[in-house]
Structure 1
């Protein structure tokens, strides 16, 4: 379950430590879940991303949220706890172990009615959803980002925000592919393809944020945005 990328910061180590220790910690059970996950090396979003996501929820005030990649249910719980009482989070995961952990997290926090967990492959589930969603958080298999992008944009409302995590691959995203370990080359190619599409598409606005292993925020400027993930 441990993620090697979590321990390769893309900004100066002392600044990462400052962001992770000096910003407000989460209170109560949600804070306890974050602390336990970090102690056990469970790959959840780092604290600087936690603070940013919590702040973003307060500014955007989304009511209908979709997450791709529930993991242990931490980030979906964070969003559920940061939005209005009538807001709702739908999240997707395909791993049985993570699904059970996520369910326990929602039970522990009393969020069973505020979070819907869909079990299965995102590639099968996304086409069945209708949306629209005010906010989508994608934090799943990095090589699948370009594949999931057309469905995410279909489901996202005009002016809504798609936030995608871990796009810098521990700072190696710009390295020549010959320097990338063979096991990571497919991810490297497809992440670069994803970034090229979302950063150059005429109907999308995007902003890179160097938190954690890199975030990108994407907004669609038109109701219908055409993307060919096979290009």
Structure 2
């Protein structure tokens, strides 16, 4: 845990809640043990979408569609979302959730490996939300930056790995060491690329917010 539980509980107690469909999908995901963004991360994401008022949103990692639907409720009229998912069991669930919410016209679900799908997309996407396999973020970055225009926003979730990212690689379980190393590489890249200005925010499981300068 990055922030103490009492603080998180208080912050989340201030939330006024989301739409009925988003609340239902969140409960269904929890019951099925499908990870979705945490409440405090969801609040930040909604706020950033409302501030940026994007024309085109790209999401890397759909899961059951919760975060795409959440963004769709706070984006301006005329905005569209393209979301990518490769896990076959989650794809029909996400499609059904988009249908239930009546969002099929504004959310397009692309299936397949994100590394391959990203190469087929044409810029610009002025808001990109990264929430896929954590060890792959660094491999997606070049294509994501190609798609992001100057002034565009990139939000990446789960970057602090419940605080594990600050630990020595030898303090991390062997099976997680590759992800640990790649996430550290990703964070270093975001903070040191001349074309980006990035903040690392210790909420949820860690979030970065980057804007493209060049």
Aligned to 2:79: 87
CA distance in 2, matches of 1:132, 1:203: 16
Superposition TM-score, scaled by structure 1 size: 0.89
CA distance, structure 2, for counterparts of residue 18 and residue 34 of structure 1 = 20
Q: Is 1:88–1:114's contact at 8 Å kept on the other side of the alignment? A: yes
Q: Equivalents in 2 of 1:220, 1:55: separation in Å?
A: 19
In structure 1, what is the equivalent of residue 107 of structure 2? 115
- 1-structure distance, mates of 2:161, 2:100: 32
Match of 1:28 in 2: 20
* Mapped pair 1:47 → 2:11: no
Within 2, Cα distance between the matches of 1:143 and 1:211? Answer: 20
Query: Pairwise mapping of residues 20-169 of structure 1 onto structure 2 (< 5 A)?
Result: 20-169=12-161
**Separation in structure 1 between the aligned mates of residue 85 and residue 180 of structure 2, nearest angstrom:** 23
Q: Which residue matches 1:187? A: 179
Distance 1:212 1:200 in 2: 23
- For residues 81-119 of structure 1, the C-alpha deviation after alignment (integer angstroms, 9 at most, x for no partner) is 211221100000001111111011101100111100001
Q: CA deviation at 1:40?
A: 4.3
Q: Give the drift of 1:39.
A: 4.5
On the 8 A contact 1:91/1:116 being kept in 2, the answer is: yes
* Cα shift at 1:17: 1.4
How much has 1:36 moved relative to structure 2?
Answer: 3.1
Match of 1:198 among 175, 186, 190: 190
Normalising by the residue count of structure 2, what TM-score does the alignment of the two structures yield?
0.96
1:42 is displaced (CA, Å) by: 2.3
Distance of 1:182 and 1:74 partners within structure 2: 31
SS in structure 1 of the partner of residue 161 of structure 2: coil
Give the gaps of 5 or more residues in structure 2.
Answer: none
Conserved? CA contact 1:137–1:164, under 8 Å = yes
Q: Is the 8 A contact 1:93 1:119 kept in 2?
A: yes
Give secondary structure in 2 for the equivalent of 1:133: coil
Computed over aligned residues only, the root mean square deviation of the Cα atoms, in angstroms, reads: 1.1
Any idea what SS the aligned residue of 2:149 has?
Answer: strand
Deviations 1:176-220 (A, max 9, x none): 111110000000000001111111122210001111100001111
Instruction: Determine the C-alpha separation between the residues in 1 that align with 2:93 and 2:29.
Output: 11
Partner SS state of residue 10, structure 1 = coil
